[in-house]
């Protein structure tokens, strides 16, 4: 896993150089947004279940997906879907704190599309649910932190598509 700091340091180290001014600017932006990131992560962790519930209500509930024949039908599959959304929220929060998406590649997206395809889990509806989570989260944490979380929700969506 990388973060915003190791990312710029590793890239300077590869070249055997001190950080240049654009790397310093990146770090400055990251440090300046530190309090915002921590505050957002606390709000998200305190409200995680509600965020997932509201996103499901917005995007999936009473759609064909929850009826017989749909991929969320049966409590086992419904629970698997809720659990997946909770994974996406938690890992997007980690990535937002780190300021870097690498943890998503390593722990979430690696092999996920293949798993979904082989189980018939619909990617389009999953992306819709993640987008709904993005909106609900922004409503909770505010515009700036919401935008930052949005980067990582979108990253998961493009990794799935």
Paired tokens of 71: 């991929």
Shorter beta-carbon distance to ligand CYC: residue 71 or 146: 71
Nearest-angstrom CA–CA distance, 107 and 112: 10
**Nearest distance from C-beta of residue 117 to ligand CYC, angstroms:** 11
Could you say which of 12, 19, 80, 151 contacts ligand CYC (CB under 6 A)?
80
Binding string, residues 45-74; x marks residues near ligand CYC by CB under 6 A: --------------------x-----xx--
Of these, 125, 136, 138, 145, which contacts ligand CYC (CB under 6 A)?
125
Residue ranges in 83-122 that form contacts with ligand CYC under rule CB under 6 A:
84-85, 87, 107-108, 112, 115, 119, 121-122
Contact in structure between 97 and 38 (CB atoms under 8 Å)? yes
Smallest separation (angstroms) from ligand CYC to the CB of 95: 13
Residue placing its CB nearer to ligand CYC in the complex, 81 or 98: 81
Judged by CB, which is closer to ligand CYC: 97, or 108? Answer: 108
Environment class of 152 (CB within 10 Å of its CB; exposed 0-12, middle 13-18, buried 19+) = buried
* Residue 23 Cα distances to 94, 97, 144, angstroms: 22, 18, 22
- Tell me, what DSSP letter sits at residue 63? S
What is the smallest separation between the CB atom of 121 and ligand CYC, expressed in angstroms? 4
Which class for 143: exposed (0-12), middle (13-18), buried (19 or more C-beta within 10 A)?
exposed
Which helix (H) or strand (E) element contains residue 6? helix 4-14
Residues lying near ligand CYC in the complex (CB under 6 A): 65, 71-72, 77, 80-81, 84-85, 87, 107-108, 112, 115, 119, 121-122, 125-126, 129
């Amino acid at each position: 896993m990388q973060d915003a700091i190791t990312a710029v340091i590793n890239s300077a180290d590869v070249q055997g150089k001190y950080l240049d001014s654009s790397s310093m600017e990146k770090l400055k932006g990251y440090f300046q947004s530190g309090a915002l990131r921590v505050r957002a992560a606390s709000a998200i962790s305190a409200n995680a279940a509600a965020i997932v519930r509201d996103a499901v209500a917005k995007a999936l509930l009473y759609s064909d997906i929850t009826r017989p024949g749909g991929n969320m039908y049966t409590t086992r599959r419904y629970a698997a879907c809720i659990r997946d959304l909770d994974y996406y929220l938690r890992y997007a929060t980690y990535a937002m704190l780190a300021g870097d998406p690498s943890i998503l590649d390593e722990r979430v997206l690696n092999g996920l599309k293949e798993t979904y395809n082989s189980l018939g889990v619909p990617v389009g509806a999953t992306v819709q649910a993640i987008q709904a989570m993005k909106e609900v989260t922004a409503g909770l944490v505010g515009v700036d932190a919401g935008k930052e979380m949005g980067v990582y929700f979108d990253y998961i969506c493009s990794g799935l598509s």
